[in-house]
Amino acid sequence: MRKHLIFFSILIAAALAILSCGGSSNMSQTPSTPSGSGQLALVGTDAPICGVDSFDVTITSATLTPQGGGTPVSVVDSSNPVTVDFASLMGFNTLLNLSSIPAGTYSQITFTFMPNASLVVFDGNPPVPTTINATLTQTTVTANINPALQVSASGSSGLTLDFRLFQSIQVDSTGQITGQVNPSIRVTPTVITSVSSLGDIDDLNGIVESVTTTTSNSNFTGSFTMRVRSTRTFQINVTNNTKFEGVSGLSALTQGLFVEVDAKVDQNGNIVAKDVESEAETDATTAAFVGPILSVTPDSSGNATQLTMFVRAEHPDVSSTIPLRSTVTVNISTGTEFKIATFGADLSDFLFNASAIARGQHVVVHGPFTGGTSPAVTANMIVLRPQPVLGNALASPPPVIGSDGKTGGYYLQPCNPLFQNQTVNIATFSTTFFNGLTDLNSLDSTSVYLNRGFLLYTTNSGSLNGLTWTAPAYVFPAYVVRKLNLP
């Protein structure tokens, strides 16, 4: 295998966005900036908790309090609430809202939530998703912004909301989840300049609604609008540096096409695409279903003919036929196309096909669907997405450490029940960003590590950067390894 990967072109910016982990919406027009106002990007992320695969909560409103007091300023309007699955954002960032607010300094933000939330955990052997009707112990939460948020006229700022599920979700004396959620929120400001953007918005996917191949802004070559959630449509601006995968360019995007976007927010409050992964068309009968694989059924030669998946998201909204947070059967044929949403990563040495698909992988399944008592999707395409994997570093076998301290890897004991204690082989590179630890030499067997990359499955024994495995095996090329400080 090749001894190196070419990772995302702005890898360090993406990793620095993770360090921050913990209004009125921007619709189809370029964000306007009234005199004396600036743009605010509200970004969601989360610190993880093992075994929780979905936590859907609705922010009905959010207001900023000026430093020293004054009239609160709305950043999420009650007429256009935001629903977000924080569990899906383990180590990732998504754009919740863009709003124009008066310039000034803000020291607090107050969120109002719906009192009920949907919490899904994996339970049993083999593990299956179990829905818990969760209740928030408080629906109005005020968080201090430290340092204070500075919003300048005609400028842009970012505010990252980290729900911190590991502290928010309550457990009893035996460690069982009770269904009570006491929101533990941390917010972190980011100043957006021409040198320092908001970093990666790396969990942005949805359906193209319109395409514009002309623009009056010389920084861009055009734009497209995409619906990312049922109530949110964002304008995505394209530059000469935007990379397109699966389609020749902006003009080839069409209405109804499902895309995944790696983007940033610039100093003027514009969402700017770095990579656009085009996948498949959607309509009333053909949809994109996003979520982890729960089980795989192979034929006698080891090729998957069927899988079950947990539906974490769907585009468009077809929940009247296949509900969100349900389990659906996916039928695979010889005509099913397999693809990796690489966002520029070189994974050409790895296969993703009917023999390399396994439980725990995060995928998008495209195809026609049926409901009823046995909901099913006929897969036209299955796309492997980047994902997090959480767990402990094994002391034995020991990590493999190259001369630079970064190239090599280690063996992870994942805590997600889906893996059923099967080791994940974490491969690292000179470009891997280590967050909370210096490099592979700093690993210990008691800390919890969050890895970001691609979960690949192989039926061949092999090695990469000196890291060896015996088939069948999970191999995880990691572009971020983060040490968590959990209570």
- What string of DSSP letters covers 85-119? EGGGGBT--EEEEEEEEESEEEEEEEEEE-SEEEE
Domain boundaries, the chain: 20-192, 286-384, 387-484
Cα–Cα distance measured from residue 95 to residue 475, given in angstroms and rounded to the nearest whole number: 30
Fold annotation for 286-384: OB fold (Dihydrolipoamide Acetyltransferase, E2P) (2.40.50)
Contact criterion met (CB below 8 Å) for 110 and 62: yes
User: What CATH class has 387-484?
Assistant: mainly beta
- pLDDT the model gives residue 197: 53
Fold agreement between 286-384 and 387-484: yes
Among 368, 351, 363, 364, CA closest to 302: 351
Q: In the beta sheet, which residues pair with residue 227?
A: 207, 233
Q: Which residue has the tokens 């897969």?
A: 379
Question: Would you give the DSSP letter of residue 442?
Answer: G
Alpha carbon 188 to its chain centroid, in Å, reads 18
CA dist., res. 43 & res. 162, Å (int): 9
- DSSP 8-class letter at 375: -
How far apart are the C-alpha atoms of 153 and 65, rounded to whole Å? 17
Sign of CA dihedral 10, 13, 18, 23: negative
DSSP class per residue in 264-306: EE-TTS-EEEEEEEEEEE--SSEEEEEEEEEEEEE-TTS-EEE
CA distance 181 to 178: 8
**Taking Cα atoms as reference points, which of 309, 379, 296 lies closest to residue 129?**
309
Q: 331: buried, middle or exposed (CB in 10 Å: 19+, 13-18, 0-12)?
A: middle
Using CB atoms within 10 A of its CB, is residue 239 exposed (0-12), middle (13-18) or buried (19+)? middle
Q: Which two tokens stand for residue 51?
A: 């075994």
Which pair of structure tokens corresponds to residue 8? 């995302």
Kindly give the confidence (pLDDT) of every residue in the chain, 487 residues in length, as a single tens digit, with 9 standing for 90 and above. Answer: 433 443 333 333 333 343 344 443 444 344 443 458 998 999 998 866 787 889 999 999 999 999 998 999 999 999 999 999 998 887 778 889 999 999 999 999 999 999 999 999 988 777 889 998 899 999 999 999 999 999 988 888 899 999 988 889 998 888 788 899 999 999 999 866 555 555 678 778 999 999 999 999 999 999 999 998 767 899 999 999 999 999 999 999 999 999 999 998 888 889 999 999 999 999 889 999 999 999 999 999 999 999 999 999 999 999 999 999 999 999 999 999 999 988 767 787 788 999 999 999 999 999 999 999 999 999 999 999 999 999 999 999 999 999 999 999 999 999 998 998 899 999 999 999 999 999 999 999 999 999 999 999 999 999 999 999 999 999 999 999 999 876 6
- How far is 10 from 249, CA to CA, in rounded Å? 20
Q: How far, CA to CA in Å, does 57 sit from each of 44, 60, 85, 441, 458? A: 12, 9, 7, 39, 36
Task: Confirm if 221 and 215 have CB atoms less than 8 A apart.
Answer: yes
Contact 62, 75 (CB under 8 A): yes
Q: What angle do CA 374, 377, 379 make, to 5 degrees?
A: 150
**3-state secondary structure at position 48:** coil
Distance CA 117, CA 120 (A): 10
- State the pairing for strand pair 156-162/104-113: unpaired
Cα–Cα distance, 316 to 232 (Å, whole number): 12
Buried b (16+ CB within 10 A) or exposed e, 280-314: bbbeeebbbbbbbbbbbebeeeeebeebbbbbbbb
Q: What is the pLDDT of residue 115?
A: 96
Q: Name the CA dihedral angle for 397, 398, 400, 404, rounded to a multiple of 10 degrees.
A: 170
pLDDT of residue 25: 41
Q: Round to the nearest angstrom and report the end-to-end CA distance of the chain.
A: 39
